[in-house]
Chain A
């Protein structure tokens, strides 16, 4: 049963990650390749606070979200000055810089050795969440809150204005919308919730190292988004469930691990190609990336 619970926890974490990516990529049409960088920043900041201070989860979550969101201002700055492919390349650059810092700033991150023994999350400084049941409850509750918040955001006037940026940025400006501010807010929220997922992940697995936050991970999150669908909340949820469950399903086919790992990559790739050909908005998506 613990195995099933572990899968559910990972699905919940990935739903938060993919929903966060959807706000900038799917709603605002800003393809970023640095979601894993924010995931890593959130994981390391959360770890620092969990290990150094006896703060409650709520306080740590607020701090992590604020600081991870603050890092997104760098991407906002790039988005105001760079367009299309140049912006995508700049976000890849950010991803590589963050990874390199996490890998080489050994005094703080312990670099490739990683940080073991990350303590459990404390709810209100009293009840420590430990064990798989605690994390199952926490991740389910957090996932539900995040799904509801993102659904609200997408359907709110803020989501409408972000959709206008996606559809036609110049017209949005001509209609009096400060598109730079709208994009910055979207980046901040996306990075903040990605950072939150990083803290939950770090605390749950109790060990982190930079290899969990590479460009490959960013591509993995984006793949989940494109397969599930962009522009709404249903698509990202489906995408996250698909990418987390697929390798587990392959286990039951009885293939050797070495073949299953390669087959998984082939299936992800094939799924992406098929979706791009036959349903470019993703399986349950609403909009198409321009």
Chain B
């Protein structure tokens, strides 16, 4: 088990001072080396749960275990959680504009050599070697995912904003392979993406699991996609995990079909 969520609660208060319990005791075990899909209707708290796991939401109750150890995520800033090995793709997450594709890839690396001001002036060789290593890693990842002589290799110095939304989603996923993450949280990776890219996204996610040995927890509304990539599926409803199990079983569950899929 790479991640264990124990009795996670979170409430929000609206402008009229009314308190609303969004998560009412979420318990979820995410198995190491597997792809788990988190499904549920809009506003059920899936993204909030991701925010809790990745350190962007601190006002929750409950316990989180990561790799067998209980970690106080409330006290850890988001960047430290990332350094612990939990990566995150946001729902509207794209490449960072104003930076080239290569710069985007390098930023995802855990190696922060040269990010202290003027240090790269003092130790130029160490800095150059680190940069060359990151460049080689970026090229290798892009080659592995998109094939030899793919167009992205010739567009490494292109500003990120020059790529289409779908391409940016693909490249944002590829970028996640640069870091030393062991658990990836992907918030609707196919959202707003042209169908032609969805197969590539599925391929990248499978690659993350099979070649990199990573664990993936993803939020997704595209049930064909979920059926294609996810080993396990968890259904979040009314603030709790109502169903969890093999994807085909959960998606075939009558309760899920009635309340979420409307079948």
Q: Which A residues contact B (CB, under 8 angstroms)?
A: 149, 152-153, 156-158, 160-161, 163-164, 166-168, 170-180, 182, 185, 189, 231, 286-287
The A/B interface has a contact count, at CB < 8 Å, of 93
**Complexed CA–CA distance, A160 and B112 (Å):** 11
Asked if residues A173 and B79 are in contact (CB atoms below 8 Å), the reply is yes
B189 within 8 A of A: no
Q: Residue B110 contacts which of A153, A163, A176 (CB distance < 8 angstroms)?
A: A176
**Complexed CA–CA distance, A163 and B93 (Å):** 16
B191 to chain A, nearest CB (A): 16
Given contacts A163-B96, A176-B179, contact A153 B79 (CB under 8 A): no
Asked if residues B82 and A174 are in contact (CB atoms below 8 Å), the reply is yes
Asked if residues A287 and B115 are in contact (CB atoms below 8 Å), the reply is no
11 more A-B contacts (CB under 8 A) besides A160-B99, A176-B112, A182-B115?
A156-B115, A161-B107, A167-B98, A168-B96, A172-B107, A173-B55, A177-B112, A178-B77, A179-B79, A180-B77, A286-B98
Given contacts A157-B127, A160-B103, contact A231 B88 (CB under 8 A): no
Asked if residues A175 and B179 are in contact (CB atoms below 8 Å), the reply is yes
30 contacts between A and B (CB under 8 A): A152-B120, A152-B121, A156-B127, A157-B106, A157-B112, A157-B131, A160-B99, A160-B103, A161-B115, A163-B96, A163-B99, A164-B99, A164-B107, A167-B98, A171-B93, A171-B96, A172-B96, A173-B77, A173-B78, A174-B82, A174-B87, A174-B88, A175-B179, A176-B82, A176-B110, A176-B112, A177-B79, A177-B115, A231-B98, A286-B98
A161 to chain B, nearest CB (A): 5
B114 within 8 A of A: yes
B interface: dominant SS: loop
Instruction: List CB contacts (< 8 Å) of B50-103 with chain A.
Output: 54-56, 77-79, 82-83, 87-88, 90, 93, 96-99, 103
Asked if residues B90 and A170 are in contact (CB atoms below 8 Å), the reply is yes
Q: Which B residues contact A (CB, under 8 angstroms)?
A: 54-56, 77-79, 82-83, 87-88, 90, 93, 96-99, 103, 106-108, 110, 112-118, 120-121, 127, 131, 179
B41 to chain A, nearest CB (A): 24
**Complexed CA–CA distance, A134 and B80 (Å):** 50
Asked if residues B54 and A174 are in contact (CB atoms below 8 Å), the reply is yes
- Chain B residues with CB under 8 A of A153: 117-118
**Complexed CA–CA distance, A36 and B86 (Å):** 42
Residue of A nearest to B89 (CB): A174
Most buried by A among B54, B96, B113: B96
Residue of A nearest to B178 (CB): A175
Q: Residue A174 contacts which of B90, B110, B114, B118 (CB distance < 8 angstroms)?
A: B90
- Chain A residues with CB under 8 A of B99: 160, 163-164, 167
Q: Residue A163 contacts which of B82, B88, B103, B118 (CB distance < 8 angstroms)?
A: B103
B187 to chain A, nearest CB (A): 11
Rank and list the top 6 A-B pairs by shortest CB-CB distance, nearest first. Answer: A167-B96, A157-B114, A176-B82, A174-B88, A173-B78, A157-B115
Asked if residues B115 and A158 are in contact (CB atoms below 8 Å), the reply is yes
- Chain A residues with CB under 8 A of B54: 174
Asked if residues B87 and A158 are in contact (CB atoms below 8 Å), the reply is no
**Complexed CA–CA distance, A32 and B99 (Å):** 23
Asked if residues B79 and A178 are in contact (CB atoms below 8 Å), the reply is yes
Residue of A nearest to B56 (CB): A170
- Chain A residues with CB under 8 A of B82: 173-176
Given contacts A171-B90, A174-B87, contact A160 B56 (CB under 8 A): no
Asked if residues B118 and A149 are in contact (CB atoms below 8 Å), the reply is yes
- Chain A residues with CB under 8 A of B87: 174-175
- Chain A residues with CB under 8 A of B108: 175
**Complexed CA–CA distance, A175 and B107 (Å):** 7
Most buried by B among A157, A158, A164: A157
